[in-house]
């Protein structure tokens, strides 16, 4: 499997696994960990690219639920997420949801000025 698709089903974020769809956690849990939106800041040079639609402060705001509907993880990140248990972690959300949120933010941040 090249990429592991992500979907929202019945209020849960799910990741495509070898054996079918695996629950990451509730959408609300992922939003609590990442936010309903996530902002990526770009340099003025980066934001000058024609395909990048930044605001006046060279930022792009990602709507989390919309992004998840079009998102996939590479095998390494998907394995990291799927290896975690569904029991609660430090945040009060599942360790799997915490790891998923960390990987998501990691991917978002790779796009911006601080990379």
State the pLDDT at residue 50.
66
Residue 99 maps to a domain:
yes
pLDDT-derived band at 14, boundaries 50, 70, 90: very high
Residue 28 maps to a domain:
yes
Residue 115 maps to a domain:
no
Listing from the earlier edge strand, what are the strands of the sheet with 72-73? 20-26, 12-17, 4-9, 72-73
Q: What share of the chain is helix, strand, coil (3-state, %, to 5)?
A: 35, 30, 35
Mean pLDDT on 83-91: 89
| Residue 22 to residue 46: CA distance in whole angstroms | 36
> 100 lies in which domain range?
4-109
State the pLDDT at residue 45.
76
Q: What is the mean pLDDT of the chain?
A: 88
Cβ neighbors of 5 (< 8 A, separation 6 or more) are 15, 16, 71, 72
State the pLDDT at residue 62.
84
Predicted TM-score (pTM) of this structure: 0.87
pLDDT digits (tens, 9 = 90+) for 20-63: 999 999 999 999 999 999 988 887 777 777 677 777 777 788 89
The total number of structural domains that make up the chain? 1
Residue 114 maps to a domain:
no
> In terms of DSSP H, where are the helices of the chain?
27-34, 44-47, 64-69, 75-82, 95-109
SS3 30: helix
32 within 8 A of 45, measured Cβ to Cβ: no
pLDDT-derived band at 13, boundaries 50, 70, 90: very high
**Residue 112 pLDDT more than 90?**
no
pLDDT-derived band at 74, boundaries 50, 70, 90: very high
């Amino acid at each position: 499997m090249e990429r592991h698709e992500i979907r929202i089903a019945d209020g849960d974020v799910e990741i495509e696994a070898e054996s079918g769809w695996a629950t990451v956690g509730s959408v609300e849990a992922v939003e609590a960990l990442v936010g309903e939106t996530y902002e990526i800041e770009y340099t003025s040079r980066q934001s000058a690219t024609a395909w990048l639609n930044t605001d006046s402060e060279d930022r792009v705001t990602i709507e989390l639920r919309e992004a998840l509907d079009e998102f996939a993880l590479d095998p390494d990140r998907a394995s990291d997420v799927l290896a975690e248990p569904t029991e609660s972690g430090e945040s009060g959300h599942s360790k799997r949801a915490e790891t998923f949120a960390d990987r998501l933010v990691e991917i978002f941040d790779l796009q911006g000025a601080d990379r």
